[in-house]
């Protein structure tokens, strides 16, 4: 599990309250590095400080830049939260996906930045062209525009909650998750073969949907490589008398 703490970058922010509230949410959920790009208010801001409550050190240590490019120096991977689907040729993922990538350390100890645009018009296309991937928070279809500090809260809380649930899962600590799906697929093939030779899939027309349901169970369990090896051991053990019979 990654202990990396992404930097939060707020671009073109118009309201001091939102900077203070974003800092408060960051502090609630264990993040600490805040950068501002072209804030539309005077900086430092007494209002932002007052609203941040106990998160004052985050506001005091916030770095201020003229361009997103400068704020991204030293960052190896960056995600931009955008409300609208852009027509740019940029990969778009969900909040849940980015949080999972960070917790599972898919970017391999890179310095990560998470970027949020201004209240009125979000990020410019030029700014978006500087980041690695775009992220959208899934919302009800009726109203997709989140308050800026709420968007920061959703990200920080989701990251903290997943890190926390990973920490609580002592059994799996230090194990590598399946990135390479082929090991999982070998287990599926092994299971399918053993069930096939015993005539499990009856009627045969239902085999495809039965297989999907079975595979789904194991997909949902998000198995580590060690767990897949255990399940293959279980399968071998359960079927070994048949093997002997055949010899």
Q: Does 120 bind its own copies (CB under 8 A)?
A: no
Residue 109 sits at the vertex; the CA angle it makes with 165 and 10, to the nearest 5 degrees, is 80
Run of H or E including 95: helix 95-103
Q: Does 164 bind its own copies (CB under 8 A)?
A: yes
Q: Which of 64, 67, 53, 69 is nearest to 20 (CA)?
A: 53
Q: Are the C-beta atoms of 235 and 193 separated by less than 8 Å?
A: no
Alpha-carbon distance 199 to 175, whole Å? 36
CA–CA distances in Å: residue 55 to residues 10, 16, 90, 183, 193: 16, 14, 34, 45, 58
Binding its own copies by CB under 8 A: which of 146, 166, 177, 232?
Answer: 146
Binding its own copies by CB under 8 A: which of 154, 159, 184, 187?
Answer: 154
Binding its own copies by CB under 8 A: which of 63, 70, 85, 96?
Answer: 96
Nearer to its own copies, 15 or 71 (CB): 15
Stretch of 35-43, 62-70, 103-111, 145-153 contacting its own copies, by CB under 8 A: 145-153
Stretch of 60-68, 104-112, 127-135, 234-242 contacting its own copies, by CB under 8 A: 234-242
Alpha-carbon distance 56 to 24, whole Å? 8
User: Residue 49, preceding bond cis, omega within 30 degrees?
Assistant: no
Shortest distance, position 17 Cβ to its own copies, whole Å: 8
Stretch of 63-71, 74-82, 102-110, 230-238 contacting its own copies, by CB under 8 A: 230-238
Q: Does 203 bind its own copies (CB under 8 A)?
A: no
Alpha-carbon distance 8 to 75, whole Å? 11
Q: Does 129 bind its own copies (CB under 8 A)?
A: no
Binding its own copies by CB under 8 A: which of 150, 177, 207, 232?
Answer: 150
Binding its own copies by CB under 8 A: which of 8, 149, 159, 184?
Answer: 149
| Strand, helix or coil for residue 217 | helix
Q: Does 153 bind its own copies (CB under 8 A)?
A: yes
Shortest distance, position 48 Cβ to its own copies, whole Å: 13
What are residue 136's DSSP bridge partners? 94
Residues ≥6 apart with Cβ < 8 Å to 235: 187, 190, 191, 194
Q: Site residues (CB under 8 A) for its own copies?
A: 17, 21, 24-25, 27-30, 53-55, 95-96, 137-140, 142-147, 149-150, 153-154, 157-158, 160-161, 164-165, 171-172, 191, 194-195, 198-200, 210, 212-214, 216-218, 220-223, 227, 230-231, 233-235, 237-242, 245
């Amino acid at each position: 599990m990654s202990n990396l703490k992404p930097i939060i970058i707020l671009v073109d922010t118009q309201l001091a309250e939102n900077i203070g509230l974003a800092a408060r949410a960051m502090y609630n959920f264990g993040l600490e590095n805040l950068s501002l790009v072209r804030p539309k208010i005077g900086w430092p801001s007494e209002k932002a400080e007052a609203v941040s409550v106990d998160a004052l050190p985050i506001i005091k240590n916030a770095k201020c830049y003229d361009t997103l490019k400068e704020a991204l120096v030293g960052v190896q991977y960056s995600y931009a939260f955008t409300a609208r689907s852009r027509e740019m040729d940029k990969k778009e993922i969900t909040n849940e996906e980015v949080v999972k990538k960070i917790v599972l350390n898919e970017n391999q100890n890179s310095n990560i930045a998470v970027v949020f645009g201004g209240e009125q018009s979000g990020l410019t296309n030029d700014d978006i062209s500087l980041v690695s991937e775009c992220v959208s928070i899934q919302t009800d279809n009726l109203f997709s525009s989140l308050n800026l500090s709420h968007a920061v809260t959703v990200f920080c809380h989701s990251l903290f909650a997943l890190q926390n649930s990973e920490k609580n899962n002592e059994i799996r600590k230090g194990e590598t998750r399946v990135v390479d799906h082929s090991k999982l697929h070998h287990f599926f093939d092994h299971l399918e073969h053993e069930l096939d030779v015993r005539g499990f899939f009856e009627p045969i027309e239902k085999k495809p949907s039965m297989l999907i349901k079975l595979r789904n169970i194991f997909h949902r369990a998000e198995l580590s490589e060690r767990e897949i090896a255990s399940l293959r051991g279980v399968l071998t053990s359960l079927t070994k008398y048949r093997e002997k019979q055949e010899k």
